[in-house]
């Protein structure tokens, strides 16, 4: 009774506490807290997304954003575009190759970083550098390192006797693709390594020892003990870096602009080229729409796995 | 007796050799990774401080200085470009993005992680999925929206748009932090007469300060690093943020001012690299959600 009276008096004298009591219903409280995020996302992601969908079936351009309905014209035109098909294939090649390399190298790096050695923190700090540098800056540094005339990489290669004259990295088709993958791996490897390190170090030592006693070799330990335990973390890491790589146009745009002759475009960079540089909003939006279903399916699969694992 | 002793000696020598070999192998692999990670930074550093005559002389070993280091390129960056203005814009826009992000993310993440209400799971996933809507899809309609707000070619367009990716990212990061605060603590506060809001402000938020700091840092650095929206919305040099300014304004026609470009790159990179390194562990704890203690 006295407690109730005390609550009342707090409620009257302190507006903050009064608001707190009004919001004390769990449902209302939850909705009020999430509301700003939902409103922001609806206004600045949902609404533009709807406009983008409208663009894909219209002939909107930057000069004439109010457009007419043109049905599937954009889709058919985009599908007939050889450069776009190439960009579509490139997007998968770049993403999957980078991801695979990141996971393999990241696992190796994680095991190295899990050892106790002098200067471990310092080494770890150095290894994080690519991830901490703005991607546009990193891409520019690599563009300069791969410059046709002043490439330091070619200088080292020639002087180490690897080749007599280095390739024009960003000017030839395959070297350019390799360069772009290389920069993506360079950039995201620290992220994979850190997440994997954190995951592996969370595996209880006793379980590993038990597996050891049972005669499990490292591959079995990795496959049957470590991976199942760190899977939820692995999925989050995979999801994040897939998203980063799949939708990124920065590396391609800064390093090659999609050249030579459109051979290195990804969907994102070609959509930018078409939608912003050339001003064809409809075509550009149609191109980037190709990114969405893949991301959606991937994300839903990963999230389902994630949920299943956390419940266990 | 003697055979046993001898046996032990040979064994330990073999062991030592093997250990030494492992050590060498270990450090070589580490060295390879470090060179791969850091060489671009070394190259930025060398390029920044070289005399132009040295930089573009193909006869010289490019890895070393052949003329004394110079500050000419750095001076050019400060005196002949809008560099100071870009730094200011970055601070202002980055600050605004951090404020918007924190005000929106903290309550949202708290509700999604700690409050049971209908549809909270799907809302959480919904917010997360917005992160997957690529800028490449949104910049076209957003440029129309930005123009509608009268923010064409203004840095404030970026402050408006950047939360579209900082909110999903930071909300998910924060949810991990909030889930790590034991429910018993909130329940104890509730039993002691705290309202839900009070429990959030007095109990959970103080325990989650590292998490909130982390999202501030990530919101700021994500905004600072962004390139696509910046390239699309902002074209006046005066309105650029630092990253866009450095990578676009130092290319005049076909001429790349590599020295000054790398000087700017270095100046942008060093502080961020230090801060990120300090907060990397917190970041990992956040991003892996409740899975790590």
Residue B292 has pLDDT above 50, yes or no: no
Domain that holds residue A106: 74-311
Please state, in angstroms and rounded to a whole number, the distance separating the CA atoms of residues B38 and B22: 24
The chain B residue lying nearest A289, using CA atoms, is B137
The pLDDT value recorded for residue B233 is 92
* H/E segment holding residue A103: helix A82-114
* Mean per-residue pLDDT of chain A: 84
Is there a single domain that holds both residue A44 and residue A187? no
The pLDDT value recorded for residue A96 is 92
Residue A8 has pLDDT above 60, yes or no: no
* Mean per-residue pLDDT of chain B: 85
Residue A151: both structure tokens together: 């490439």
Segment among A116-125, A212-221, A231-240 with least mean pLDDT: A231-240
Collapsed DSSP state (helix, strand, coil) of residue B218: helix
How far A272 CA sits from the closest chain B CA (Å)?
7
Residue B19 has pLDDT above 50, yes or no: yes
Is there a single domain that holds both residue A46 and residue A87? no
- By CB atoms closer than 10 A (0-12, 13-18, 19+), residue A161 is exposed
Segment among A91-95, A184-188, B5-9, B282-286 with least mean pLDDT: B5-9
Q: Does the beta carbon of A41 lie under 8 angstroms from any beta carbon of chain B? A: yes
Collapsed DSSP state (helix, strand, coil) of residue B252: strand
Please state, in angstroms and rounded to a whole number, the distance separating the CA atoms of residues A115 and A127: 15
* H/E segment holding residue B91: helix B83-114
Comparing CA positions, the residue from A182, A151, A149, A166 lying closest to residue A264 is A182
Residue B179 has pLDDT above 90, yes or no: no
Q: Is residue A69 part of a domain?
A: no
The chain B residue lying nearest A254, using CA atoms, is B247
Collapsed DSSP state (helix, strand, coil) of residue A69: strand
Residue A190: both structure tokens together: 């620290």
Q: Is residue A100 part of a domain?
A: yes
* Positive or negative: CA dihedral B204, B206, B209, B212: positive
Q: Is residue A259 part of a domain?
A: yes
For residue B256, give the DSSP letter: E
Residue A209 has pLDDT above 60, yes or no: yes
Is there a single domain that holds both residue A50 and residue A189? no
Burial A202-227, CB ≥16 within 10 A → b, else e: ebeeeebeebeeeebeeeebeeebbe
Are residues A133 and B168, on separate chains, in Cβ contact within 8 Å?
A: no
Please state, in angstroms and rounded to a whole number, the distance separating the CA atoms of residues A242 and A228: 20
Residue A311 has pLDDT above 60, yes or no: no
Q: Is residue A48 part of a domain?
A: yes
Chain B residues with CB under 8 Å of A308 CB are none
How far A167 CA sits from the closest chain B CA (Å)?
16
For residue A162, give the DSSP letter: S
Residue A248 has pLDDT above 60, yes or no: yes
Q: Vertex A299, ends A295 and A303: CA angle to 5°?
A: 175
Residue B215 has pLDDT above 90, yes or no: no
Residue A141 has pLDDT above 80, yes or no: yes
Is there a single domain that holds both residue A103 and residue A227? yes
Asked if B227 contacts B243 with a C-beta cutoff of 8 angstroms, the reply is yes
Is there a single domain that holds both residue A52 and residue A90? no
Is there a single domain that holds both residue A143 and residue A257? yes
Mutation to test the A interface, candidates B136, B264, B269, most A Cβ within 10 Å: B136
Is there a single domain that holds both residue A45 and residue A138? no
Asked if A216 contacts A224 with a C-beta cutoff of 8 angstroms, the reply is yes
Q: Is residue A68 part of a domain?
A: no
Number of structural domains (chain A) is 2
Is there a single domain that holds both residue A182 and residue A251? yes
Neighbours of B222 (CB within 10 A): 20
Are residues B111 and A26, on separate chains, in Cβ contact within 8 Å?
A: no
Comparing CA positions, the residue from A271, A279, A277 lying closest to residue A83 is A271
How far A288 CA sits from the closest chain B CA (Å)?
5
Residue B226 has pLDDT above 80, yes or no: yes
Neighbours of B59 (CB within 10 A): 5
Cα maximum dimension of chain A: 91
Q: Is residue A61 part of a domain?
A: no
The pLDDT value recorded for residue A307 is 63
Q: Is residue A65 part of a domain?
A: no
Of all residues in chain B, what percent are helix, strand and coil, respectively (each to 5)? 80, 0, 20
Chain A residues with CB under 8 Å of B143 CB are 62, 276
* CATH number for the domain that contains residue A102: 1.10.3720.10
The chain B residue lying nearest A54, using CA atoms, is B141
Is there a single domain that holds both residue A197 and residue A287? yes
Are residues B29 and A24, on separate chains, in Cβ contact within 8 Å?
A: no
Is there a single domain that holds both residue A131 and residue A229? yes
pTM for the whole structure: 0.84
The pLDDT value recorded for residue A13 is 58
The pLDDT value recorded for residue A20 is 67
Chain B residues with CB under 8 Å of A285 CB are 137, 140-141
Is there a single domain that holds both residue A154 and residue A270? yes
- Residue located via tokens 């490439």: A151
Radius of gyration of chain B (CA): 26
**pLDDT, tens only, A22-37:** 677 788 888 889 999 9
Mutation to test the A interface, candidates B195, B257, B259, B285, most A Cβ within 10 Å: B195
Q: Is residue A191 part of a domain?
A: yes
Residue A104: both structure tokens together: 């393999």
Is there a single domain that holds both residue A142 and residue A177? yes
- By CB atoms closer than 10 A (0-12, 13-18, 19+), residue B11 is exposed
Q: In Å, what is the CA distance from A252 to each residue of A117, B137, B165?
A: 38, 17, 21
The pLDDT value recorded for residue A184 is 94
């Amino acid at each position: 009774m006295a407690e109730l009276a005390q609550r009342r008096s707090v409620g009257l004298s302190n507006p903050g506490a009064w608001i707190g009591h009004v919001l004390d219903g769990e449902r209302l409280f939850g909705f009020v807290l999430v509301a700003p995020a939902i409103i922001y996302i609806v206004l600045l992601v949902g609404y533009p997304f709807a406009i983008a969908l409208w663009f894909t079936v219209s002939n909107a351009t930057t000069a004439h954003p109010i457009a007419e309905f043109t049905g599937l014209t954009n889709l058919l035109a985009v599908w007939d575009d050889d450069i776009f098909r190439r960009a579509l294939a490139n997007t998968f090649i770049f993403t999957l190759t980078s991801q695979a390399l990141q996971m393999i190298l990241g696992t190796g790096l994680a095991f190295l970083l899990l050892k106790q050695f002098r200067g471990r923190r310092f080494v770890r700090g150095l290894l994080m550098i690519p991830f901490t540098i703005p991607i546009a800056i990193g891409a520019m540094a690599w563009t300069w390192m791969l410059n046709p005339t002043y490439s330091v990489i070619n200088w080292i290669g020639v002087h180490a006797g690897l080749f007599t004259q280095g390739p024009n990295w960003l000017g030839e088709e395959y070297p350019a693709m390799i360069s772009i993958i290389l920069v993506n791996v360079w950039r995201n490897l620290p992220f994979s390594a850190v997440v994997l390190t954190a995951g592996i170090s969370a595996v209880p030592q006793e379980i590993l020892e038990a597996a050891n006693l049972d005669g499990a070799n490292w591959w079995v330990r990795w496959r049957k003990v470590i991976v199942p335990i760190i899977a939820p973390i692995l999925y989050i890491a995979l999801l994040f870096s897939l998203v980063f790589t799949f939708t990124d146009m920065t590396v391609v745009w800064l390093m090659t602009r999609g050249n030579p002759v459109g051979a290195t475009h990804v969907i994102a960079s070609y959509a930018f080229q078409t939608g912003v540089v050339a001003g064809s909003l409809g075509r550009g939006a149609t191109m980037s729409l190709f990114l969405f279903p893949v991301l959606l399916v991937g994300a839903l699969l990963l999230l389902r796995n994630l949920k299943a694992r956390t419940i266990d | 007796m003697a055979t046993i002793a001898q046996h032990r000696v040979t064994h330990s020598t073999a062991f030592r050799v093997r250990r030494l070999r492992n050590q060498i192998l270990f450090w070589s692999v580490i060295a390879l990774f470090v060179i791969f990670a850091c060489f671009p930074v070394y190259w930025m550093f060398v390029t920044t401080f070289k005399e132009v005559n040295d930089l573009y002389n193909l006869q010289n070993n490019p890895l070393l200085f052949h003329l004394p280091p110079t500050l000419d390129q750095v001076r050019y960056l400060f005196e002949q470009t809008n560099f100071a203005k870009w730094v200011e814009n970055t601070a202002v826009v980055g600050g605004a993005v951090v404020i918007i992000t924190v005000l929106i993310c903290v309550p949202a993440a708290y509700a999604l992680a700690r409050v049971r209400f209908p549809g909270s799971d799907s809302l959480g996933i919904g917010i997360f999925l917005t992160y997957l809507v690529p800028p490449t899809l949104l910049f076209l309609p957003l440029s129309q929206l930005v123009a509608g707000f009268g923010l064409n070619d203004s840095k404030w367009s970026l402050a408006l748009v950047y939360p579209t990716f900082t909110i999903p990212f930071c909300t998910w990061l924060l949810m991990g932090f909030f889930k790590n605060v034991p429910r018993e603590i909130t329940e104890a506060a509730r039993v002691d007469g705290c309202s839900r809001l009070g429990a959030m402000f007095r109990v959970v938020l103080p325990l989650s300060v590292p998490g909130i700091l982390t999202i501030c840092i990530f919101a700021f650095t994500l905004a600072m690093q962004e390139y696509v929206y910046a390239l699309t919305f902002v074209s006046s040099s005066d309105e650029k943020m630092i990253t866009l300014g450095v990578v676009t304004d130092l290319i005049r026609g076909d001429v790349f001012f590599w020295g000054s470009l790398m000087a700017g790159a270095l100046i942008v990179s060093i502080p961020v690299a230090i801060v990120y390194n300090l907060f990397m562990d917190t970041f990992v704890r956040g991003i892996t959600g409740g899975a790590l203690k």
